[in-house]
Amino acid sequence: MQSKKENFSEWYSEVVKEAQLADLRYNVKGFLVHRPNSVLAMKKMYSLYEKALEDQGHKPVWFPAIIPEANFLKESEHVAGFTPQVMWVTHGGSEELEQKMALRPTSETAFYQMFNLWIQGLVDLPLKLYQSCQVWRHETKATRPFIRGREFHWIETHDVFATEKEAKAQVKQDMKTTEKVMHQQFGIPFIFFRRPQWDKFPGADDTFAADSLMPDGKAIQQPSTHMLGTHFTKAFDVKFQNEKGENVFPYSICYGPCIWRMLASVIALHGDDKGLVFPYKIAPVQIAIVPILKAGADNQKLIEYAKKLGKKLSKKGVRAQVDVSEQTAGSKYYYWELRGAALRVEIGQKELAEGKLTIARRDTGLKEQLTEKQFLAKLREYEKQIRENLVSKADAWFANQMHEAKTMDELKQSLGKGGFTRVPLCSDEMTGKQCADRIKAELSGDVRGVRADKKEKPSGEQCVACGKKAKEFAYAARQY
């Protein structure tokens, strides 16, 4: 296995392949075959995320995967932003369709035509829906498994509110959901930025995005939530009658937690030179049971015991697997470490005789001996300990990736180190775009935005690029 530290990019590719997460040999460029090890993890990630969304009132829907071109043309910024990436369906059988159809790159233009029908009065609001689905984007940038592809798996929420205030409150709520699930459950640290005006979602007033970092120090965008104002409700003539009896446009937002990309962060942040490390809750195999078979010993009894233990765990809803293959114990350990089984239970003849199990944690490598009863009673604690350890390790690393720069030279240096660099910037409105462009052109750095989770205002600092009085502290990074 490659060294994650020395060559992250190759390490990542190797883990994706060797741990059988995805196969890149499908014969359509930018499209992956997702193998059971990634699907089992993502299914679990989906269900945790969906639960969190449902808990705060979102309901699931399934919209068609195709959207008529006419829908796209209704919101001018949106069509300009997405059309270059749309994959088009043009024929059904041998007939040419009357109108070409987009494979959804995102579903605003599908949802809002139905909102037009569903929303009439205050009683219909707020309307909070989500959809777990695939989307398709004809990316021209290089694709990487789970990071960027022409087909990916995400959740999109589409929420409509009577007032701007409620819409803004939901943006905050979305940030909290990101914290609760992505950070606390999956162990992915992030900063919530408000994107500069030149880097918004096409058709949004404002875009807020959770940026995490990859181990190579480059920023990766995780969920974003977009304040759409009345752009889309106007474009699709969605109106409701307010308390004064006036027909007015409601406010809307959308939020896009991409489970597929979160898996990339899980792989990258927690993995090590032995392979994958999963939080217990999302591990495809949570517990690997390895009977240590030896020539000449009574292996049958050992195997029977291991299988019985496996069944007990399965009955408790644990994803357990008993490894009765004819490999050596060492190569079985290697195999389950590579695949990120959260716990490994080793049972040899000695353990069987003594009524003890050796439990090895994948995240720390620590081993301990427990009786079966103790082990079964400790599962919840393991789950908690593993989660807390992965979160705090990732957080500690993340906290060390924060830099400051006041000049272009300093910024150049710190961008080279990776992570986020805080710089004074003249503005994050369109007037600041020139400075961001210069940072991009000269230093390959991207201005990711200003913090959305706390107030930071310069007091007299000068813009890192133009030297004018800085209105904002912005964060720059190299990015995926």
Residues forming the site for a copy of itself (CB under 8 A)? 23, 25-28, 31-36, 39-40, 42-43, 59-68, 70-71, 83-95, 100-101, 103, 110, 113-114, 117-118, 129, 134, 136, 138, 140, 150-151, 153
Closest CB to a copy of itself among residues 117, 142: 117
Nearer to a copy of itself, 135 or 464 (CB): 135
Answer yes or no: are the C-beta atoms of 339 and 276 closer than 8 Å. yes
Which two structure tokens, joined as six digits, stand for 296? 């000449």
What is the C-alpha to C-alpha distance for residues 391 and 408, in angstroms, rounded to an integer?
Answer: 33
Least CB distance to a copy of itself at residue 68 (A):
6
Those residues whose C-beta lies under 8 Å from the C-beta of residue 231, and which sit 6 or more positions away, are 75, 77, 78, 203, 204, 205
CA distance 188 to 181: 9
Beta-strand pair 66-68/87-92: unpaired
**Residue 67 vs 450, nearer CB to a copy of itself:** 67
Angle, vertex CA 446, rays to CA 441 and CA 450, nearest 5: 140
Q: Which strands make up the sheet holding 367-371, listed edge to edge?
A: 320-322, 287-291, 343-347, 356-361, 367-371
261: enclosing H helix or E strand: helix 259-270
Q: Which is nearer to a copy of itself, 124 or 216 (CB)?
A: 124
Smaller CB distance to a copy of itself: residue 83 or 462? Answer: 83
Q: Which of 109, 44, 52 is nearest to 75 (CA)?
A: 109
Residue (66 or 379) nearer to a copy of itself, CB: 66
**CB of residue 211 to a copy of itself, shortest distance in Å:** 26
- Beta strand pairing call for 219-229 and 247-248: unpaired
Cβ distance to a copy of itself smaller for residue 3 or 325: 325
Please state the closest distance from residue 176 (CB atom) to a copy of itself, in A: 20
- 89 vs 303 by CB, closer to a copy of itself: 89
Smallest separation, CB 90 to a copy of itself (Å)? 5
Q: 29 or 294: whose CB is closer to a copy of itself?
A: 29
Spatial distance between the Cα atoms of 257 and 150, rounded to a whole number of angstroms:
17
Provide the minimum distance between the beta carbon of 267 and a copy of itself in the complex, in angstroms, as a whole number.
Answer: 16
Check if the beta carbon of residue 159 is closer than 8 Å to that of residue 129: yes
Q: In angstroms, what is the minimal distance from the CB of 124 to a copy of itself? A: 12
- Please report how close the Cβ of residue 91 comes to a copy of itself at its closest, in angstroms: 4
Provide the minimum distance between the beta carbon of 31 and a copy of itself in the complex, in angstroms, as a whole number: 4
Q: Which amino acid is at 190?
A: F
Cα end-to-end distance, the chain, whole Å? 23
Residue 183 near residue 189, CB atoms below 8 Å: yes
C-alpha distance from residue 374 to each of 289, 302, 350, 436 (Å): 16, 19, 18, 58
Q: Which helix (H) or strand (E) holds 292?
A: none
The DSSP code for 249 is: P
- Residue 344 and residue 332: Cα distance in Å, rounded? 10
Instruction: State how far the Cα of 80 lies from the Cα of 466, in Å rounded to an integer.
Output: 30
| Closer residue to a copy of itself in complex, CB, 64/365 | 64
Nearer to a copy of itself, 86 or 439 (CB): 86
**Planar angle of CA 234, 68, 132, nearest 5 degrees:** 85
Q: How far is the CB of 45 from a copy of itself (least distance, A)?
A: 13
Q: How far is the CB of 406 from a copy of itself (least distance, A)?
A: 41
Shortest distance in whole angstroms from residue 159 CB to a copy of itself: 14
